[in-house]
Every structure is written in C-alpha cells, then in structure tokens.
Amino acid sequence: MQRYRTFDVELFGHTQANGREVFNVRVADSDVGEQRIAQASRVMLPLTVRDDVAALARRQLAMPELIALGETLGRALLPDSVRSLWVAAMARLADDEGLRLRIRCDTYGLAELPWEYVHVTPPDLANERPGPEGFLALNRRVSVVRYESQEGPQVALGAGVSPIRLVAVLASPAGDERFGPLDVAAERRSIEQALGGVESVRAEFVPDATLDSLLGALAAPAQVFHFAGHGVFTGELGARYGSQQGESAVVLLEDDAGARLLPAARLAMALTGRGVRLAVLTACETGQRDAANAWAGVATALTRAGIPAVVGMQFRIRDGNAVTFSRAFYRALAAGQSVDGAVSDGRLAVFASTGDDERDWGVPVLYLRAQEGVLFPSAGAGVEGAGAGGAAARERPSEGVVDKRGLRQALVGTFSADDLDLLCSDIESALAEDGITLQVNLDMVGGDTKPVQVLRLIEYLDNRGYLHYLVAAVREQRPGLIP
C-alpha cells in the first residue's frame, strides 16, 4: 500500500486588479520546508481562465487546450518558489510513498477553480511536446485533494467497527423530464462486484430512494454513504468576481416517481451523528462550489458537517464514467488502499476507458480532513505512515484526550496577540529541550484573525503529535484555565 507524505499549499488574498485575478500562494507545510506569509508568491491569472473553465464544463476543450489550461493552473498553484519545494519533496519520496498535494483556499472564488487539472511537465520530458502524463491527478505518486480549515478536531478516517456498513442510495426519477434516465442498476452492480467477498463491509442499497427511505436507511449508524443519481446547482453571478450564489441539492424520488430536491444543508444534517467516515457522491455537479455560500456545494456541506473524506463531482459526468469510477474506487478500497489511492485508481480507470478529449477523469474532487487515508485496512496492513506534516508516523505521547474546542475557546478568549507570540516561543523552547527542532510562530501557521490563527496553531501541533506541548504551555502561563 502506498503511503502519502503531505505537501500543503495555501491560496489566500484573492482580489481582482488590472484585469487579472490576483492571489498569494505559499507552502504552509511540508517535510522539505514551509514559507511564512511574508514569503508567499504573488500570482496573477488572466480573466480568460474563467472562460476556459466554462468551456471545460461544456466539454468544449480538446486535449491541447486542456493541457494549456492545466499549465496555466499549474503556474498559479506552483509558482517558482513553491515549485522548487515541490520538486524537492518529490525527490525525497521512497519507492512506496506518494505526495499528497493538499490545497487550502481561503476564498470560494479560488476553490471553484478546477485544480484537479493542474499540469506540470515532468523534468525528463521538458523538451517534448506536453502530453497527458503531466496532469498531476493522473500520476499515481501524486494525490490532489482539497482541505478546508474549520472549527473542531480532525476525525480519524478509520471506522473502528466491523463490519463496516455502506449505505448506497440510488435515485433516477423516471417521471420528471428535467432529469434524464441513469443506469443506477449498473452502479449497484459495480459496487457489489468490487466489494464481493469482502467480509468487513456490508453494503445495503436503497433503490428508487425517497426522502423517507433515505432517512430510514440512516436510522442506524453507517460508516460509508454513497449517492448515485442526479445533482443540481442553481445559481447566478455573485457579488464577487467569478462567484456564484445558489444552492446545490441531490435529486430523490417522490412517491409518484417524480423528483424531489434535497438541499445540501439538509442532507448534511441527515448524516450528522451517524458515524459516516466517507461520502461518495456520483451525482453530477455535486462538487460545485458557491463562492457566496459554503453550504451550496453538497460535497462541501458534508465536509463542514464533519465527514473526514468526501468525494464529489465538480462538473457533469457521463453516466458510464461515473460507474467506471465507482467500480475502480471501491475495488481499491476493498484491497486496503487509502482513499487517495482509490480516487487515483478511479480517475485513471476513467481516463483509460475514454478518448483523449474526454475530461471526466478530472471531475471527481476529494475533500480530505483525516490524517490517515485508509478506511478498510487489509489483513496485516499497517496504518498509513505519512501524516499531515509529511513526516513518518510517530507514536504520540500518552497525554489523554485533549478537548480541542475548549482549548481553542480558552486561547481566543484569554490570550492577546502578544500572549500568543510568547506562548509559541515557550512551545518552541520546550520542544528544543527535548531535542525536537520545529518552528512555532503565528506567521508560520498563518491566518488573518486571532480565531483562525489559534485554530491553525492547534492543527499545526496536533498534526505532528505535539499538541500536549501547547496544553502544557497554557497550563503554565494560565494555571486553572484548562483542565
């Protein structure tokens, strides 16, 4: 099983100036170095990129044009200072390791760009005509994922129960002319075939799903939620350039076989507290982001509801390609691969089964907040060895469970900016005394406001297994503030 080291790229400060989109890019975390906010690269994108993305959504880009768009996105996501670290990180990978390119956007206008199509020509092919081998999402050693900072701790992806319960909701309304027929039966067969003989997973299907049958299936805990059907996004141009305001929904059946839209927020509420670790949405446009409302995209809504891994579709995907993706995805999961690896297998399966000008391989979007990507460990398989900091997994000190929400509230409510700087200095000194070299400062973790800085400081230390140093420093500076 391939392990992943993480390469965190943060995009922030998105504005429009001089007929271009302008934003900052920095490496927020990697095992070859990080960049302070002041070291971020200023990047400019021509406004025509939005026209190219619209053409991509309409399937109007041939392969040369798709490569050109990918190269433009690649230069924006990996400017020179970032690319040098990227090359160094790739060079340090062991034979059984991959690199997780984790993209963190602070505005929805940036998040709606299709970063899954980033194209970087391999160094050994620099003098050759660019080809599809430069798409990072088609490179088995690279995982392109999205990450959203939010309140609350990261949730472990591993379900911790056996057998894992997978609820697959299938809906293709036959009585509504707005939605064409879908071969959801083929999708069911692909899941059954992929999981056949896997005793640790119990798949339950909800055909011709209505709201009532969906809620009934979720009356008992489920670790995996799969939706096969139509998804819709209705919106209009938003207040900010390149933005949209609207609402996403999945399409269920009414009792008379008509269609009923279930808004993203309500689906997220239905899944909350049911133990779902992975949601897979093969409905078209379920990955679409709304630049004015983070709840408008179904995939994003589920991520914000606390589901650690969500796969959605950012454009319309052909029915057959959705089935191909699901079959390869679940086959890889059943073999003990990480969610990263399973998404890569699904993308490659779609690419291999379609023509050169097909773009559906880049439609799946993976939102991943878990440090480990393995949901169904195979017999004898170890836990993924690369955490968010890119270092090999280390055993964390036994310090008990930390109430991260309470810790964050205490820091935000009690510590000034100067107090936080001193706190970071104390943590860095304590680490050094234990022989651990790690920069700890607010510029390094990033964030424009104190609540965001505190959240990222907690994540920064927790991802490396050093959160107890923060707890100890707070207890020393403010006795009695936290348990």
What does the domain layout of the chain look like in residue ranges?
Answer: 3-147, 164-336, 404-477
Spatial separation of the C-alpha atoms in residues 108 and 241, rounded to whole Å: 11
Regarding the domain delimited by 164-336, which CATH topology (the fold level of the hierarchy) does it fall under? Rossmann fold (3.40.50)
Interhelix angle 417-433/404-414, nearest 10 degrees: 130
Token readout for 62 is 């041939």
Cis peptide, bond prior to residue 79, ω within 30 of zero = no
| 366 sits in which H/E element | strand 364-368
Residue pair 116/67 in contact (Cβ under 8 Å)? The answer is no
**pLDDT value of residue 120:** 95
Helices (H) and strands (E) in the chain — how many of each? 15, 14
Q: Residue-wise pLDDT tens for the chain (483 aa)?
A: 578 899 999 999 999 888 899 999 999 999 999 999 999 999 999 989 999 999 999 999 999 999 999 999 999 999 999 999 999 999 999 888 899 999 999 887 898 899 999 999 887 776 778 889 899 999 999 999 998 776 555 666 765 677 889 999 998 887 667 777 788 888 898 889 888 877 888 999 999 999 999 999 999 999 999 998 888 777 654 544 445 566 788 889 886 667 888 888 899 899 988 889 999 988 665 666 554 444 447 888 888 888 889 998 888 888 889 889 988 998 888 888 889 999 999 999 999 988 877 899 999 999 998 766 677 655 333 333 333 333 333 333 334 567 888 899 999 999 998 899 999 999 988 888 877 777 788 877 777 789 888 988 887 787 667 888 899 999 989 988 988
CB 289 within 8 A of CB 277: no
> Are the beta carbons of 14 and 109 closer than 8 angstroms?
yes
Residue carrying the six token digits 């760009």:
113
Predicted confidence at residue 290, as pLDDT, reads: 52
- In single-letter form, the type of residue at position 425 comes to S
Cα(18)–Cα(21) distance, integer angstroms: 8
* Pairwise CA distance, residues 463 & 29, whole Å: 10
| Beta-strand pair 142-147/97-105 | parallel
Closest among 328, 320, 331, 317 to 364, alpha carbons compared:
317
What are 437-440's contacts with CB under 8 Å, separation 24+? 438/464, 438/466, 439/34
Structure tokens at 71: 């190269």
**Maximal C-alpha separation, the chain:** 70
Contact 312, 286 (CB under 8 A): yes
Taking the C-alpha atoms of residue 103 and residue 289, their distance in angstroms, rounded to an integer, is: 15
Q: What is the pLDDT of residue 41?
A: 97
CA–CA gap between residue 3 and residue 294 (Å, rounded)? 31
**pLDDT attached to residue 390:** 34
Q: Give the per-residue pLDDT at 135.
A: 96
What local confidence, expressed as pLDDT, does residue 155 receive? 61
The token pair that represents 358 in the structure block: 């097909």
pLDDT attached to residue 199: 81
The per-residue pLDDT for 333 is: 87
Residues in the chain: 483
At 172 the three-state DSSP class reads coil
Gap between the Cα atoms of 114 and 118, Å rounded? 8
